[in-house]
Structure 1
């Protein structure tokens, strides 16, 4: 077993590096029989002298959750009077270097918070993000790759006083995350499904960086919504029992939706857009699909109108794509004007969650590209998304959405954490008005009863995930890299890394 890793241990210069690393004047990780740099370069790794005894990690150590220790976070990591517990590995996996482990430490102390919509965190969700996901990551490399890519992107986007990520390293992490995720989906090993579901959630944030890529597709949003639907695909492949046993269940709670009530909040111009579809229109056979999708969109208007700006609204906005019918995704990817118009209106709501860094800067370019593609014929129905391009103030955006200059948000709400999810309670009193739970794609909650030694739930036929979306669609929308390309990125990253 290798030496214990501590996130804040001072760097000591290596005196026993290999000849190749010394010649190139780069840091050697002293791996045996070949260090990481020589392995990546396919060079012969020759040491000048015998190193001190360095035990190698056993396979059992890598795979067991007992190989974790609890360490107290520093006060600078969290602004809290109460000490927090954090998971760090007592070993370093053979395919990970010191930089990887520092990055993982940053994830467990900082970056994990960016995967929740609640500004102050929630005990259950925080524990899963900091502890359970990391435990799964050490036995599922595709999840570890995704966590490292997410953290590297986070650091480069918002900055970190003690760490910088070279662009070559960030690109390498992203490529490795995409490729390992793709291979895991293609392998379809049931034992990895819970980790794959968690990975699909993190990958939504990782893939958002493609919006900012110089070579990004003008309507990358159409690929991104497929990545979001990957969550439903993988949940549909995973048994409820295995998700419970994995400890990851709380990550996939969503606010329930009363679709009939939500329909009452759909803007009239969007309803007319669908009501006016003629029998000879290309969308004539998909009228029901558009109505269903508008009801999901209506739930955003309903939440904002009734409860104002709150964590549940943020969660509804972020998880909107996970509810969409599979047929609507086909219509959107075919660039049907009505489907793109609905997406443009959702992008206006996406401007209301500026706290989530990986959602920042997405809406305006995509709205502009949708408007440019559809042209003047659709200007009237795109009036709100077009006007939103000029706005950044949340209140002004809300007034635009409601077409009401006098609109004011209702009384403020505070988030309460309970055993069954997140609830909102008005500061003026009264009972909690909203919870999060396991929700089917029709917006209704799943009525389940976990029993000792068994797993039962009602009703018998529940649908959280999707069985009508092909896994190949999910992998097709991800950038593809050959093994040689990934190896080349690894070499660049190894030498550009800032320690």
Structure 2
């Protein structure tokens, strides 16, 4: 403990003259609190550098290497007073634990693909606070579904963490790029997309289009796309594609997974080509439809010897990723054929409804598409309306 002394009143008859000094108000807060003289060196004075007082808040713990929290053995710093130690945010610790033990397991139905969520993401979170904040935000959204009595707390915490993380991401984008920072920004952008989905359907928001302005989720997806496009070579190691055990899995055609697929989809493609012959503007739908067919063709698989058909979720999200600006504008403008194609995609998206973060979105979007479509286009909706049901209600569910 440091003793503090006070100079006695000046006595002109005292044998020893008092050493004078100029008082300053520029000393650091920590030295003022400890009532010791500060050398006023910036950014950290000598006293603070020597004492290396660790702030034990959760936010700093997850963004600062552990070695930096240990005082140097070359000095004997004073023991911090109780007032100088902050209690960790216990709810954040609970959310961290919930992620590692429960939430991280809900992003894939294949154990081979869980590793990224259980290991890679937390490792990046330890090094980058904005990844940690988004991990906690998504964990809070999952916990809100399990503990409805704490839903308000979980939702408010998630919103605050997302807002803070976005500020950190902006700083990260402005910094000099390196492989670790690029990976962290890509994961953070992906987590933001999941957070937006996991909030559930929002009035006026339909993922790829909105009642007014730009759809929130599409804007977040564009952020993921821009990072991946610029740093694809760096991010290759993050892919979990190699986690699929190809020697024990087999592809399943969409006709086996979805009743009436070929007949309905071929009819859609033929009609678009016929309409294109009369109106060249329909050419903007050719690529989205071709990509959607490829998506259906590659989406379904099963373990050899099993009758359970599953969906490869990256293939499903792949169609959303590859959409061009021309189709997205037609969808935002409410063009009927753009809406019909989106409804066909909802059949595939519905196969992901077993994942908690997409629950409710299919019904929300399908209702709005039908509301917008003119009655002359309603016959196109028969197959999508029949098949766009939760996966567990279909024989293809897994």
- Output the TM-score relative to the length of structure 1: 0.52
Q: Could you tell me which residue of structure 2 aligns to residue 112 of structure 1?
A: 104
Q: Could you tell me which residue of structure 2 aligns to residue 474 of structure 1?
A: none
Q: Could you tell me which residue of structure 1 aligns to residue 349 of structure 2?
A: 350
Is residue 226–residue 329 contact of structure 1 (8 Å, CA) maintained in 2?
A: no
Is residue 200–residue 359 contact of structure 2 (8 Å, CA) maintained in 1?
A: no
Is residue 200–residue 357 contact of structure 2 (8 Å, CA) maintained in 1?
A: no
Out of 195, 202, 209, the residue aligned to residue 184 of structure 2 is 195
Aligned pairs (5 A) from 1:150-229: 150-159=138-147, 165-181=153-169, 184-185=172-173, 189-190=177-178, 192-213=181-202, 216-222=203-209, 223=215, 224-229=217-222
Q: SS at the partner of 2:240? A: helix
- State the distance in 2 between where 1:322 and 1:103 align: 30
Q: SS at the partner of 1:267? A: helix
- State the distance in 2 between where 1:178 and 1:275 align: 44
Deviations 1:228-252 (A, max 9, x none): 4543332222252x336xx634379
- State the distance in 1 between where 2:207 and 2:285 align: 25
- State the distance in 1 between where 2:126 and 2:134 align: 12
- State the distance in 1 between where 2:313 and 2:291 align: 18
Question: Is 1:130 paired with 2:118?
Answer: yes
Kindly tell me: are residues 291 and 132 of structure 1, through their superposed partners in 2, closer, same or farther at Cα, counting changes over 3 Å? closer
Tell me the CA shift for residue 146 of structure 1.
Answer: 1.1
Deviations 1:277-330 (A, max 9, x none): 2355362442542343333343267659x9975444444334442343454334
Is residue 299–residue 315 contact of structure 2 (8 Å, CA) maintained in 1?
A: no
Q: SS at the partner of 2:99? A: helix
Tell me the CA shift for residue 226 of structure 1.
Answer: 4.8
Is residue 142–residue 181 contact of structure 1 (8 Å, CA) maintained in 2?
A: yes
Q: Could you tell me which residue of structure 1 aligns to residue 293 of structure 2?
A: 295
- State the distance in 1 between where 2:243 and 2:320 align: 14
Larger displacement relative to structure 2 (349-358 or 320-329): 320-329
Question: Is 1:250 paired with 2:240?
Answer: yes
- State the distance in 2 between where 1:299 and 1:95 align: 53
Is residue 296–residue 323 contact of structure 1 (8 Å, CA) maintained in 2?
A: no
Aligned pairs (5 A) from 1:223-372: 223=215, 224-240=217-233, 242-243=234-235, 248-250=238-240, 265=262, 267-279=265-277, 281=279, 283-299=281-297, 309-372=308-371
> Where does structure 1 lack aligned partners over 5 or more consecutive residues?
1-31, 34-52, 69-92, 399-408, 413-499
Kindly tell me: are residues 140 and 273 of structure 1, through their superposed partners in 2, closer, same or farther at Cα, counting changes over 3 Å? farther
> Where does structure 2 lack aligned partners over 5 or more consecutive residues?
1-29, 32-50, 70-84, 210-214, 247-252, 256-260
Kindly tell me: are residues 355 and 230 of structure 1, through their superposed partners in 2, closer, same or farther at Cα, counting changes over 3 Å? same
Deviations 1:53-84 (A, max 9, x none): 9941599994448799xxxxxxxxxxxxxxxx
Structure number with the higher helix fraction is 2
Q: SS at the partner of 1:335? A: coil
Higher relative contact order (CA 8 A, sep 6+): 1
Tell me the CA shift for residue 114 of structure 1.
Answer: 1.9
Kindly tell me: are residues 114 and 204 of structure 1, through their superposed partners in 2, closer, same or farther at Cα, counting changes over 3 Å? farther
Kindly tell me: are residues 357 and 60 of structure 1, through their superposed partners in 2, closer, same or farther at Cα, counting changes over 3 Å? closer
- State the distance in 1 between where 2:283 and 2:189 align: 32
Q: SS at the partner of 1:133? A: helix
Q: SS at the partner of 1:346? A: helix
Question: Is 1:376 paired with 2:365?
Answer: no
Is residue 231–residue 322 contact of structure 1 (8 Å, CA) maintained in 2?
A: no
Question: Is 1:142 paired with 2:130?
Answer: yes
Tell me the CA shift for residue 143 of structure 1.
Answer: 1.2
Larger radius of gyration: 2
Deviations 1:385-404 (A, max 9, x none): 33346x55645475xxxxxx
Kindly tell me: are residues 163 and 274 of structure 1, through their superposed partners in 2, closer, same or farther at Cα, counting changes over 3 Å? closer
Kindly tell me: are residues 135 and 293 of structure 1, through their superposed partners in 2, closer, same or farther at Cα, counting changes over 3 Å? same
Tell me the CA shift for residue 225 of structure 1.
Answer: 4.4
Kindly tell me: are residues 156 and 316 of structure 1, through their superposed partners in 2, closer, same or farther at Cα, counting changes over 3 Å? same
Q: Could you tell me which residue of structure 2 aligns to residue 101 of structure 1?
A: 93
Is residue 301–residue 310 contact of structure 2 (8 Å, CA) maintained in 1?
A: no
Larger displacement relative to structure 2 (153-162 or 362-371): 153-162
Give the superposed CA RMSD: 4.4
Is residue 290–residue 328 contact of structure 1 (8 Å, CA) maintained in 2?
A: yes
Kindly tell me: are residues 107 and 379 of structure 1, through their superposed partners in 2, closer, same or farther at Cα, counting changes over 3 Å? same
